[in-house]
Amino acid sequence: MSKIAFIGLGNMGGPMAANLLKAGHQVTVFDLVPAAVKQLTDAGAASAPSAKEAAANVDVVITMLPAGKHVEMVYLGEEGLLNTVAPGTILLDSSTIDATTARKVASAANEKGVAVMDTPVSGGVAAAAAGTLSFMCGGSEEVFSQAKIILEAMGKNIFYAGDHGAGQVAKVCNNMLLSVLMVGTSEALRLGVDNGLDPTKLSDIMLASSGRNWTLEVYNPYPGVMENAPASNDYQPGFMVDLMCKDLGLAMDTAVESKSATPMGSMARSLYAAHASKGNGQKDFSSIIELLGK
């Protein structure tokens, strides 16, 4: 088993670190929120007073941070991990950030001879807890083969997307498509209900027809249709609207850089931004159906 430092114990990072413990790894954690740290230490993890100290003398460092600026600070700052980790340590950043920052960190790591890979995730809080996340990895194939053994303790689908930054690009493409599917599914369900159809029966019809998609299959946005979906629990917990707005912003920035046409993604971003502006940022993203209500 490996010695692992896990930095960033939010809604996703906490369950991910817990699954590493369940797999038998020796885990040291760091987070700015004491309660998040305590939850992991109660489960058997060690803790450290700083990211730098957590990453000392470990085999692997995993970071799960809110945004690119935080990733840049943790890796490239004065006390950054690239200046402090021992040779041979593998650095895996599972944050969802812009590909430019991921490549910047990778370039600095290469200069120091440190192995790094961007490994953003998909699946949400439920998959993080269940250990069934999908990882989209960018970096060298050699590092990927080493990282995969660790990532398999937290996910069931581990993909190699390409060179540094490719994992981040794959993630924003996936989430852009997810947002479009959720808006389309919500529109269709709302249209049916507004015309007298039962949402459960309509969902069953579409699931057996050409409109079938992931949001209908496992994450239905209409309350009461799917017992375990956030929609049936006042849109809690889940993948927050604010986070979907963030990811769609990254997708639009990526599209600008590559001069790609993303009209559906752009419309989805506008709709989610409008939904967030009405005080719904903390709700699950499937609550977009409320924006479409009469």
Domain ranges of the chain: 3-164, 169-291
Which two tokens mark 241?
A: 């609207």
pLDDT of 145-166, one tens digit each?
Answer: 999 999 999 999 999 999 999 9
pLDDT-derived band of residue 124, with 50, 70 and 90 as boundaries? confident
pLDDT-derived band of residue 97, with 50, 70 and 90 as boundaries? very high
DSSP-assigned beta bridge partners for residue 91: 61, 116
Q: What's the pTM?
A: 0.92
pLDDT of 167-193, one tens digit each?
Answer: 999 999 999 999 999 999 999 999 999
pLDDT higher than 90, residue 247: yes
* Pick from 80, 77, 93: nearest CA to 52: 80
Q: What is the mean pLDDT of residues 114-138?
A: 94
pLDDT at position 1? 83
pLDDT higher than 80, residue 115: yes
Q: What is the mean pLDDT of residues 106-120?
A: 94
**For the domain bounded by 3-164, which CATH number is listed?**
3.40.50.720
Q: What is the mean pLDDT of residues 265-279?
A: 98
DSSP-assigned beta bridge partners for residue 138: 118, 162
pLDDT-derived band of residue 125, with 50, 70 and 90 as boundaries? confident
pLDDT-derived band of residue 256, with 50, 70 and 90 as boundaries? very high
pLDDT-derived band of residue 48, with 50, 70 and 90 as boundaries? very high
d(CA 62, CA 119): 9
Please spell the DSSP secondary structure of the chain, one letter per residue.
Answer: --EEEEE--STTHHHHHHHHHHTT-EEEEE-S-HHHHHHHHTTT-EE-SSHHHHTTT-SEEEE--SSHHHHHHHHHSTT-GGGTSPTT-EEEE-S---HHHHHHHHHHHHHTT-EEEE--EESHHHHHHHT-EEEEEES-HHHHHHHHHHHTTTEEEEEEEESTTHHHHHHHHHHHHHHHHHHHHHHHHHHHHHTT--HHHHHHHHHTSTT--HHHHH---STTTSTTSGGGGTT-SSSBHHHHHHHHHHHHHHHHHHT---HHHHHHHHHHHHHIIIIITTSBGGGHHHHT--
How far is residue 58 from each of residues 69, 91, 165, 192, 255, measured CA to CA in Å?
24, 10, 24, 55, 37
pLDDT of 206-227, one tens digit each?
Answer: 999 999 999 999 999 999 999 9
Q: Are strands 90-93 and 115-118 parallel, antiparallel or unpaired?
A: parallel
Amino acid at 127: A
pLDDT higher than 80, residue 294: no
d(CA 183, CA 5): 38
Task: Give the residue numbers marked as catalytic.
Answer: 171
pLDDT-derived band of residue 78, with 50, 70 and 90 as boundaries? confident
**How many angstroms separate the first and last alpha carbons of the chain?**
55
Q: What is the mean pLDDT of residues 264-278?
A: 98
pLDDT at position 198? 98
CB–CB of 28/4 below 8 Å? yes
Level-2 CATH architecture, domain 169-291:
Orthogonal Bundle (1.10)
pLDDT, mean over the chain: 96
pLDDT-derived band of residue 74, with 50, 70 and 90 as boundaries? very high
Amino acid at 87: P
